[in-house]
Amino acid sequence: MKRLPKIRAGLARLRLFRSTVRLGVMGSTVLSVLLWAMAIAFLLDFWIHMGQLERTIVLLGVIGTAVWAFVRFLVPALKVHETETALAVMVDGMHGMHSDIVGAIQFDDENRLQYGSKQLRDAVVEYTGQAAGELNFLEGFSRKELFNRMLVFVITAVICLVPAVVYSKYTGAFLKRMVLFEARYPTQTSIEIVSPTPDHMQAEGEPVKFVVRARHVSGPSELPKSGTVEIEALTSGMATSIELKRRGQEGDDAVLYSGTLNSVLDHISYTVYLGDTQSKTRQLKLVPRPRVELDMKIVTPKYVRGKTPPKPKNRRQAIVVEGSKIIPVITCDNKEIVSGTITFEKSASEKTTSGNPPTPYPLTRRGKTLVLDRALLDPSGKDKTPNPLASVTEMVRFEIDVTDSNNQHPESPVKGVVHIAADLPPRAALMGYSRHVVPGATPALMFRTIDDYALDEITLHLAIMDADGQQTDLPVRSIAKPRDKEGNRVGTWGGSYTVDLGKMKLQKGYQVSAFIEAVDYRGDIEGKSRRSEKWVFEITDDVGVLEAMDRLTEQMDKKLDEILRAQLEAGK
């Protein structure tokens, strides 16, 4: 059994004391290093408003410093293990006992191989045990180093922790930022970005309006007159800034600021700076505008029979026959279009009589396209208006605007123009064999008519003029309705018509004038007409007819002589 309980208890107290001092010194050193590292990190973050990358680097630096301090100071202290013999040597040295405690401990160790007289060993153990009862095992071991290190730690803690507790909001924001959360330090100014919203989809090339709502803890009067928005293009890296001007007060404590970036051609990131605060950095993604194309489906009248005007190279223009139906078709190659409107340009008379802007009419969605193939509906979808493109009779100008799935529009509306192809009135010609006839004659009139597309009817107009110059118009006669074998209207027609003068009660000296009128066919639209030149019959007797024939023969002879003379002169 062990006979030195006081010595062993004293050595145990000494071991605990030394271990406490050692761990306290090294532990306070590690904590001091960590607190100063955190303080430096806070000052850096507070002064330069580090981004996430910079905060990550600083966080790694703080962790690295803490690990270095732990390994450098605390780990060696934890590895120290002092035996009873080593502690006994220290106590013997402090009290000048010349290894008495060491010898007593060794003589009292039953597991140790002993030498010499047992009575001597027992006497040493008994004497040392009695002497140790009055020993102070901690005598000579100073606490000064521990107190010095603890003082340094306390000063560090006061410098670092007291402000951290007093300004707990700053501390909380700093700790969140150090673990890479998005947090802001408290400021006297608070701002809220009203526009653009976080989910705003920005159309390419469109201006961006920034609207910020700001408050100050001391009231609106303390807010600055302006702020700035720092903007950086994400692709090109170009940077710019715009000024936010104070626009007016909202409510009792808020002030609105606004500024505009004229055009955006790239994805951007932006940060708002106002007073002593700044916003989180946001990104604004561009949404490409819908790239739309206009095609015009042309439905020509049946009578045209494939004779369509040449198609312009510009797909947004069309040249059509009067009465054609136009169906605008809008397609988009990069987005899904969901709706659209068409607006027709008012005529000059409509602009004069009405000062209202043109009405936009909704288009109809057909699959992935938008079309106009029915009567126009007003924006309410109730009242119908005739479609100007259902049967075109004059030039029509229109604009089409579309909306895609991102609620974006083209940079400018798609403009279309429908021109009317020239459809001239028909041409007509009429002639007879002789102008001098007897009252009962039945002379034949030959006629021919031509139209660009189709003829509807040919009529003959006759009038009698007596010797006194009185004219009597006879009823109009329909002499032809140009049709082919299938009953379709044709564009060219010719023939002859015999005029029975015997029924007109004519006398010598009377005149009978004749002309034809050709009317073309234009579907539901009224056709246009044109008259031929007049052919006039001179009413005479047999002698007059012979005289007229003689005059004609004489004229023909003179003309033949002129032709022969010209040929002879040319051969000389």
CB 548 within 8 A of CB 495: no
- Is residue 353 predicted with pLDDT exceeding 70? no
Those residues whose C-beta lies under 8 Å from the C-beta of residue 83, and which sit 6 or more positions away, are none
What pLDDT, on the 0 to 100 scale, is given for residue 258? 95
**Are the beta carbons of 336 and 404 closer than 8 angstroms?**
yes
pTM: 0.56
Percent of the chain at pLDDT > 70 equals 83
**510, 465 Cβ separation under 8 angstroms:** yes
Provide mean pLDDT across the span 289-317.
87
Collapse the DSSP code of 193 into the 3-class scheme (helix H, G, I; strand E, B; otherwise coil) and give the result: strand
Nearest one of 340, 328, 343, 333 to 407, comparing CA atoms:
340
Which residue is listed with tokens 């160790």?
Answer: 109
- Per the DSSP assignment, residues forming a β-bridge with 528 are none
Report yes or no: 176 and 51 within 8 Å, Cβ to Cβ: no
Q: Which tens digits make up the pLDDT trace of 27-85?
A: 888 888 999 999 999 999 888 878 888 889 999 999 999 999 999 888 888 887 777 66
* pLDDT at 97 (0 to 100): 59
Average pLDDT over residues 416-425: 90
Cα separation values, 234 from 237, 269, 281, 408, Å: 6, 7, 12, 22
Q: Which residue has the higher pLDDT, 386 or 209?
A: 209
User: 122-126, 308-312, 451-455 — which is least confidently predicted?
Assistant: 122-126
Least confident of 365-369, 454-458, 545-549: 545-549
**C-alpha triplet 434, 435, 439: angle, nearest 5°:** 100
Percent of the chain residues past pLDDT 90, beyond the cut: 34
Report how far apart, in Å, the C-alpha atoms of 544 and of each of 431, 465, 505, 540, 549 are: 20, 18, 18, 6, 9
CA distances from 467 to 401, 439, 496 (A): 71, 14, 28
Q: Which residues pair with 447 in a beta bridge?
A: 430, 495
Mean pLDDT of 181-198: 87
Q: Do the beta carbons of residue 230 and residue 268 sit within 8 Å?
A: no
Q: Which of 214, 267, 263 is nearest to 242 (CA)?
A: 263
Per-residue pLDDT at 447: 94
CB–CB of 210/242 below 8 Å? Answer: yes
The highest-confidence range among 17-31, 124-138, 245-259, by mean pLDDT, is 245-259
CA–CA distance, 537 with 155 (Å, rounded to integer): 136
Query: pLDDT confidence of 11, banded at 50, 70, 90?
Result: low
All structural domains of the chain = 5-178 (no CATH), 189-287 (2.60.40.10), 292-420 (2.60.40), 427-540 (2.60.40.3930)
Side-chain half-sphere CA neighbours of 307 within 13 A:
15
Number of H helices and E strands in the chain, helices first, is 10, 31
Segment 369-394 shows an average pLDDT of 78
The C-alpha angle 365, 369, 375, rounded to 5 degrees, equals 45
- Residue 236 has, within 13 A of its CA and on its CB side, a CA count of 11
Of 62-71, 137-146, 356-365, 438-447, the poorest mean pLDDT is in 137-146
Q: Please give the pLDDT value at position 1.
A: 40
Residue 206: per-residue pLDDT: 84
pLDDT per residue over 477-524, tens digit each?
A: 999 999 988 888 898 999 999 999 888 888 888 999 999 999 999 888
Residue 22 has pLDDT above 50, yes or no: yes
Nearest CA-CA partner of 521 in 484, 491, 478: 491
Per-residue pLDDT band for 526 (boundaries 50, 70, 90) equals confident
